[in-house]
Structure 1
């Protein structure tokens, strides 16, 4: 048993980690005896990428990543339902029943094992001819073209029945038609009736403000097509969260997105780490370019860890990761995170 400092999703806490039968480890929050040896580094749960596209990457690589959770924001809902059922978040290694199940994989060879949980929105909802219906990268079944309220109700019911935990709406006026105010507001209301928040891909002049005004919960991308005014930033900070996805941009769009995020963060807005994984050659892991861009926008230290929304390390279902460094946490760098092993307890 050793003393540890750990991040609980909001701040630093003190506790102990002990090994358990079967090679697992258990973290407990408690007063730490002064004579107890201390881990060289700090502990967190696996990080969250709030914007991925699992059909566009080799999702099996998640098993070796430091991601404890991913949120897919646009894919075939049937494929995602299958993936979220197979890629289960395993309980700690001291859970005997799961250990026994893992020891007999020959009976269930199709079951992939990872410590990464999957949440998803299912298919994009878009107007007829809207983004991404004309994109070659969009897999079959990854979008639904919505022309009427009845279409919207059917699509939302379909996503909910598939296990979606949010709804994704495309509102990209740079690439085609977008929903009018009345239908977009209705989609948001229909989703809310099923307790499903709406994430909007808002692109084009005024689209970010329109999505927020009509009740969107989250923007899938930090606004990048225009610099928002300070008043608009304040309005956004009070009503919606932003998923960063800064690293997918270059040049002027990157500069605009970073400027918007910096002011949004300073205004108290909630910034969520997300990479748009699958948009180009992105790592199936924490993306160093995204971390660099967030830091450039002023999101660092505790704020950066909060944006990464790590899993609760006190939950026996969570894999534990160590951020090597000093006990004062001044160098708790998520890019240095790795899985905690029993060997780390031998201090």
Structure 2
């Protein structure tokens, strides 16, 4: 038995590590007095709340520090099949939630982008079309619906159509996420009922009253590290003020947008810290899996640092009880 601190998704607690059949298990009871201690923190695998599996080598995920991902734009049939594959992985299942296609205006972003795979975009002409598409997605058991409001890259859905998607999604109890880009679009998406923004706002610094309003009505997916220069300064400032006002920010990278690891993106963790999200709040944003699930993979965080995290193995515990001067070891 080994003593350890563990993060249960909300707070750090005292627990016990044991090894059974070559697998490390976490128990939620404190270890006996005198048990060797693993210094650092243990928790479950992290969640990336914004990925695009069609644009990456998704087969690398089971070996990563991620145990769950949220796909925000893919062909519905393709992502459904891949989600099943990853959830059934024999050594390390990955939980995949997905929205299916981007819902956008006719000719709207990203319908004209060469990187957008066939079937990953649906152009919605009016409220009637919105009803039909949402019903189809609900029948396909999507976890959420993604609307695009990108005014700098083409037409956007009119308010009535945007609201029709939101209302029909609510009738099916499906959350709505919005890609909001361009002046006023983050404010508009929140006003029209999107419960989460796919990107923390980066087009402009939001006014204090808008920050306060969104802090009680929406949550944001971080995706700060995809920006540089003025856009990066804007997004960090917005996130810092949003969190100070009580808003929820969750870790997401927009994996597939440019070069980044199919793993925890350390630059995104650094950006969250720069915006003032530290300690338990940072771990909460990373939404780790329940570490007490029997046999679930565990992460070991030296100095409680997510960026130094690695898969916990029996060798980490053996090192605490093995005498390095013993010639047999």
Is residue 89–residue 317 contact of structure 1 (8 Å, CA) maintained in 2? no
| Pairwise CA distance, 1:25 | 2.5
**SS state at 1:87 partner:** helix
TM-score (norm 1): 0.89
One of 152, 173, 180 as aligned partner of 1:174: 152
Relative to structure 1, the CA distance from residue 203 to residue 317 in structure 2 (aligned partners, 3 Å threshold; closer, same or farther) is: farther
Match of 1:322 in 2: 300
| Pairwise CA distance, 1:37 | 1.7
Match of 1:217 in 2: 195
One of 172, 183, 203 as aligned partner of 1:205: 183
Q: Deviations over 1:2-61 (max 9, x none)?
A: 11110011110111121123x222211113322222112210100111000000001111
Q: Deviations over 1:243-298 (max 9, x none)?
A: 01001111111111111001001111000100000001111111121111111111
Is residue 125–residue 169 contact of structure 1 (8 Å, CA) maintained in 2? yes
Match of 2:317 in 1: 345
Q: Deviations over 1:144-176 (max 9, x none)?
A: 111122221222222223331000000111111
TM-score (norm 2): 0.94
- 1:85-234 maps to which residues of 2 (within 5 A)? 85-88=84-87, 102=90, 114-234=92-212
**SS state at 1:151 partner:** helix
**Distance of 2:33 and 2:131 partners within structure 1:** 59
Consecutive unaligned residues of structure 2, counting only runs of 5 or more, are: 321-329
Match of 1:26 in 2: 25
Match of 1:94 in 2: none
**Distance of 2:81 and 2:280 partners within structure 1:** 35
Q: Deviations over 1:201-247 (max 9, x none)?
A: 01111111111111111000000111101111010111100001001
**Distance of 1:26 and 1:214 partners within structure 2:** 46
**SS state at 1:239 partner:** coil
One of 305, 308, 312 as aligned partner of 1:333: 305
**SS state at 1:315 partner:** coil
Q: Which moved more, 1:217-226 or 1:299-308?
A: 299-308
Let me know the Cα RMSD of the aligned residues.
Answer: 1.4
Q: Which moved more, 1:156-165 or 1:244-253?
A: 156-165
Match of 1:99 in 2: none
**Distance of 1:2 and 1:291 partners within structure 2:** 29
